[in-house]
Chain A
């Protein structure tokens, strides 16, 4: 065959080897979504077949040749009810099923390992809590729930892993999150699916699913020194957060130990849970997120810190369970009394692991 037309043969080979109707199912949720998808395909096929059958058979049975005189029929309430209720019923099944899937995908389990994703024109940056950074790739272990906390540094992007059936918009100014549990080792596509400018089609990468051991090896092999939390601690000190956020009796700000996940009462009286979004907002727009009992004197860090910096700080605060190291820091430095947040006091030696 190939000697008849090499081009055609190549085409056929390419087609047959690449022929796929749906992407690989590489996460726990993928087969569940495919189930719903195939149910929908089935219903659509049945519906389409029904419509085509009706139209075809009526066209043949009642063509002018066979049926020269039309019979004027007003309608039929029974039929109207039937084809209102049955489609509605089917659509509602799809609605409920889809809603269950949706909630499942967008409600990360509490024990999920969190990886931060920052999208910017035109690359994806993944930040592992251990300090590993990746660009346009994401290494994850299989068999463990992984949560992605996603944000954009500039415009809307969308983080999509078709093989896992997950996708989430990367929005400038707020965190979004999605989770998955990878089931099959391999390399899968990572796409940006929200048009974001010139190089939108090149904002693609690979998701590499490794076995737990391989992942551990990878983590050790690609660490860049400090973990995210350690970087956060360094930033916390260099931005002089320690000036107010300590446990000294005259502290101007609340201690941040164990604040993550706790219920806070704000100065407006509103009660909120201190999650990632709150922490981020409190750094960038502090005046609306002041804890009750404290003066609204926290300066804003908008424009002074990148999203990665915010992520490092958030990760630091998340893991903060005592004020010990902050005490160490403040005890060994002198700070100006009327601090305007521009103090450059840094303490070498407190950020070593």
Chain B
């Protein structure tokens, strides 16, 4: 990685100041934050909240990996282990991954990207954050009161009739969190449809907006099904009805269908916003428009649409008919293609570009490699024959951690670093952040690659103890996890440090296109002094050049 060459363009640090009037300084006091309608403040509230839950989920992961150092259940009791992995899954999925990019970066940046002063429904946005906090509070209560051990998948009849942990509070917590997600998605769809600035046509939108639009469709249409499924579980637990209980005439497979009908689109809700980040970052750090803009935009929508029709690939061995399995497998193969298209488009964005390797770009490269592995292993699972052997083993665990942690979390970190100067007005320290990115990448591979092998060998998932021959790989995995933990802790430390001591960023330290980079950092509460009229395409670096020339001409 070249060290001297960078596209960072900071104002003269001896004279630069954070702009006096910005969304952070506009009003002070706790109430101005708790009753805000400003999407940027709400995004900041979300950022703090999800970081908090991320570390809780991460601590649970650390405990899991510690237990798995040895084949026996010697660190914690089996019941406790079951609670550890259940709560790790629930917190990471519903309280971190689903809101991660949309509720933080999306909330912050989308109104500016489309040229609006705020999202369409600011009060609904704030409500969305409060719902998240209420849900989070319920989740913390659940953990303090003894936890839940159904797995994040709440499989019936285990969750309805066979455990006596806090399934109801957890179910309700996820229900509330689901509505937080629905309202975020609803807000995005309305904003993107109705609040674009004059001249901002659909095909001039940044690809970040397209991917959030696709994810929002999934949020809005899929999450309510999860909500009603959770209601049915709560009802079944409280009054003992058997919609999912075969002894009473119900059908446990009905639960599976209803649950996965949401939970499969959920994984696309989780990854699509990350893909949007990668589009922005790869473009900016190659100084080029994204290769095949239309293809990338449509592939996001294709993933969203196809994503609704593949849910039963989680049920191939559960007694669905062979022919149903066939259809879902075929559709799964189809949904894998748009992701492949994106990876190649991003790779070719680099072609004849002018590439630098700042931290966001390092995370983006990490994403491209790790998501490719994760995505390809998804195809292993989408083929019914191999799924029989690989499902319900550590292969699945490795697969989804590759796409979610190696993919989504890397994209999230990439985006945080990329928009940090816009968010706070300050730059993060480049050297240590690059180090953290590399440490994360190494730690991640060490943690999760052995799990593919464990899965192929047959080690089942959700096992507190395992046959001794699996120990070596588990030890590797735990070793990697400790490295990974360091890699995630570092950003928290240096980003906090940068709030006070980071270099002043100025409007456009990355010299990026995009309307958000044409305003001050941090932005005004109303984003734009006046609504821009858009007359250029997305990623129009030539337009950017002309802007700069004009500025130089008018100032100089």
Least CB separation from B287: chain A residue: A70
Q: Does A97 contact B (CB under 8 A)?
A: yes
Q: Does B78 contact A (CB under 8 A)?
A: yes
Nearest-neighbour CB distance to chain A for B279, whole angstroms, equals 13
A15, B155: Cα distance in complex, Å: 36
Nearest-neighbour CB distance to chain A for B242, whole angstroms, equals 10
Q: Which residues of B lie under 8 Å from residue A23 when comparing CB positions?
A: 456-458
Cβ of A71 and Cβ of B352 under 8 Å apart?
A: yes
A67, B334: Cα distance in complex, Å: 37
Cβ of A99 and Cβ of B388 under 8 Å apart?
A: no
- Stretch in A128-136, A155-163, A228-236, A327-335 touching the partner: A155-163
Cβ of A98 and Cβ of B78 under 8 Å apart?
A: no
Q: Does B253 contact A (CB under 8 A)?
A: yes
Q: Does A200 contact B (CB under 8 A)?
A: yes
In chain B between 276 and 303, which residues have their CB closer than 8 angstroms to a CB of chain A?
A: 286-289, 291-295
Q: Does B319 contact A (CB under 8 A)?
A: yes
Cβ of A158 and Cβ of B317 under 8 Å apart?
A: yes
Least CB separation from B470: chain A residue: A18
Mark each residue of chain A from 61 to 77: 1 if its CB lies under 8 Å from any CB of chain B, else 0: 01111011111111110
Which listed residue, A47, A62, A198, touches B353 by the CB 8 Å rule? A62
In chain A between 31 and 68, which residues have their CB closer than 8 angstroms to a CB of chain B?
A: 33, 36-37, 40, 43-44, 47-48, 51-52, 54-55, 58-59, 62-65, 67-68
Q: Does A254 contact B (CB under 8 A)?
A: no
Nearest-neighbour CB distance to chain B for A50, whole angstroms, equals 9
Cβ of A169 and Cβ of B319 under 8 Å apart?
A: yes
Q: Does A316 contact B (CB under 8 A)?
A: no
Cβ of B155 and Cβ of A98 under 8 Å apart?
A: no
Cβ of A72 and Cβ of B289 under 8 Å apart?
A: yes
Q: Does B329 contact A (CB under 8 A)?
A: yes
Q: Which residues of A lie under 8 Å from residue B352 when comparing CB positions?
A: 62, 67, 70-71, 73
Cβ of A75 and Cβ of B293 under 8 Å apart?
A: yes
- Interface core residue of B330, B369, B457 (most chain A CB under 10 Å): B457
A169, B312: Cα distance in complex, Å: 14
Nearest-neighbour CB distance to chain A for B435, whole angstroms, equals 19
Q: Does B79 contact A (CB under 8 A)?
A: yes
Nearest-neighbour CB distance to chain B for A344, whole angstroms, equals 25
Nearest-neighbour CB distance to chain B for A331, whole angstroms, equals 37
A198, B348: Cα distance in complex, Å: 50
Mark each residue of chain A from 104 to 121: 1 if its CB lies under 8 Å from any CB of chain B, else 0: 111100000000000001
Cβ of A166 and Cβ of B460 under 8 Å apart?
A: no
Q: Which residues of B lie under 8 Å from residue A348 when comparing CB positions?
A: none
Cβ of A63 and Cβ of B457 under 8 Å apart?
A: no
Least CB separation from B467: chain A residue: A189
A174, B322: Cα distance in complex, Å: 16
Q: Does B128 contact A (CB under 8 A)?
A: no
Cβ of B462 and Cβ of A37 under 8 Å apart?
A: no
Q: Does A79 contact B (CB under 8 A)?
A: yes
A174, B355: Cα distance in complex, Å: 59
Mark each residue of chain B from 151 to 177: 1 if its CB lies under 8 Å from any CB of chain A, else 0: 101010110001100000000000000
Least CB separation from A91: chain B residue: B333
Q: Does A83 contact B (CB under 8 A)?
A: yes
Summed over the interface, the residue pairs from A and B with CB atoms below 8 Å come to a total of: 303
Least CB separation from A69: chain B residue: B354
Which listed residue, B73, B340, B354, B392, touches A194 by the CB 8 Å rule? B392
Nearest-neighbour CB distance to chain A for B316, whole angstroms, equals 7
Least CB separation from A16: chain B residue: B472
Nearest-neighbour CB distance to chain A for B114, whole angstroms, equals 22
Q: Does A4 contact B (CB under 8 A)?
A: no
Cβ of B341 and Cβ of A80 under 8 Å apart?
A: yes
Cβ of B376 and Cβ of A43 under 8 Å apart?
A: yes
Q: Which residues of B lie under 8 Å from residue A72 when comparing CB positions?
A: 288-289, 541-542
- Interface core residue of A22, A48, A173 (most chain B CB under 10 Å): A173
Cβ of B2 and Cβ of A64 under 8 Å apart?
A: yes
Q: Does A88 contact B (CB under 8 A)?
A: yes
Q: Given A51-B372, A72-B288, does the pair A196, B158 have CB atoms closer than 8 Å? A: yes
Cβ of A102 and Cβ of B456 under 8 Å apart?
A: no
A166, B388: Cα distance in complex, Å: 6
Mark each residue of chain B from 243 to 279: 1 if its CB lies under 8 Å from any CB of chain A, else 0: 0001101011100000000000000000000000000
Q: Does A299 contact B (CB under 8 A)?
A: no
Nearest-neighbour CB distance to chain A for B101, whole angstroms, equals 22
Q: Does A289 contact B (CB under 8 A)?
A: no
Which listed residue, A18, A21, A51, A105, touches B347 by the CB 8 Å rule? A51
Which listed residue, A18, A40, A52, A154, touches B369 by the CB 8 Å rule? A52
Q: Does B501 contact A (CB under 8 A)?
A: no
A98, B336: Cα distance in complex, Å: 16
Cβ of A21 and Cβ of B252 under 8 Å apart?
A: no
Q: Which residues of A lie under 8 Å from residue B380 when comparing CB positions?
A: 37, 40, 44
Nearest-neighbour CB distance to chain B for A343, whole angstroms, equals 25
Mark each residue of chain B from 1 to 23: 1 if its CB lies under 8 Å from any CB of chain A, else 0: 01001110000000000000000
Cβ of B351 and Cβ of A58 under 8 Å apart?
A: yes
Q: Which residues of A lie under 8 Å from residue B388 when comparing CB positions?
A: 33, 101-102, 105, 165-167
Cβ of B288 and Cβ of A156 under 8 Å apart?
A: no
Q: Does B498 contact A (CB under 8 A)?
A: no
A55, B393: Cα distance in complex, Å: 32
Cβ of A103 and Cβ of B317 under 8 Å apart?
A: no
Q: Given A15-B472, A98-B386, A196-B158, does the pair A40, B379 have CB atoms closer than 8 Å? A: yes
Least CB separation from B385: chain A residue: A101
Q: Given A62-B286, A201-B463, does the pair A48, B387 have CB atoms closer than 8 Å? A: no
Nearest-neighbour CB distance to chain B for A207, whole angstroms, equals 12
- Interface core residue of A43, A84, A97 (most chain B CB under 10 Å): A84
Nearest-neighbour CB distance to chain A for B503, whole angstroms, equals 20
Which listed residue, A51, A62, A84, A202, touches B355 by the CB 8 Å rule? A62
Cβ of A88 and Cβ of B337 under 8 Å apart?
A: yes
Q: Given A88-B333, A101-B385, does the pair A121, B295 have CB atoms closer than 8 Å? A: no
Which listed residue, B247, B337, B365, B383, touches A94 by the CB 8 Å rule? B383
Q: Does B237 contact A (CB under 8 A)?
A: no
Least CB separation from B352: chain A residue: A71
Cβ of B162 and Cβ of A121 under 8 Å apart?
A: yes
Q: Does B318 contact A (CB under 8 A)?
A: yes
Cβ of B389 and Cβ of A79 under 8 Å apart?
A: no
Q: Does A143 contact B (CB under 8 A)?
A: no
Q: Does A191 contact B (CB under 8 A)?
A: yes
- Interface core residue of B82, B157, B348, B389 (most chain A CB under 10 Å): B389
Nearest-neighbour CB distance to chain A for B438, whole angstroms, equals 15
Q: Does B368 contact A (CB under 8 A)?
A: yes
Q: Does B120 contact A (CB under 8 A)?
A: no
A193, B336: Cα distance in complex, Å: 26
Cβ of B344 and Cβ of A154 under 8 Å apart?
A: no
Q: Does B204 contact A (CB under 8 A)?
A: no
A64, B466: Cα distance in complex, Å: 51
Nearest-neighbour CB distance to chain A for B67, whole angstroms, equals 11
- Interface core residue of A75, A154, A163 (most chain B CB under 10 Å): A75
Q: Which residues of A lie under 8 Å from residue B329 when comparing CB positions?
A: 95, 98-99, 102
Nearest-neighbour CB distance to chain B for A13, whole angstroms, equals 11
A11, B468: Cα distance in complex, Å: 12
In chain B between 523 and 541, which residues have their CB closer than 8 angstroms to a CB of chain A?
A: 541
Q: Given A59-B350, A102-B384, A171-B318, does the pair A155, B157 have CB atoms closer than 8 Å? A: yes
Can you list 23 pairs linking A and B with CB atoms under 8 Å apart? Answer: A23-B458, A33-B385, A52-B369, A62-B351, A70-B287, A71-B353, A72-B289, A75-B292, A84-B341, A87-B340, A88-B337, A91-B333, A94-B333, A94-B379, A102-B384, A154-B162, A155-B158, A160-B460, A167-B391, A174-B319, A195-B155, A285-B249, A303-B247
Given A21-B453, A102-B316, A201-B464, 11 more A-B residue pairs with CB atoms under 8 Å apart are A14-B472, A18-B472, A44-B380, A51-B344, A55-B365, A63-B355, A94-B382, A98-B387, A100-B385, A176-B318, A198-B78
* The 6 residue pairs across chains A and B that have the minimum distance between CB atoms: A173-B246, A162-B458, A101-B385, A98-B383, A102-B384, A98-B385
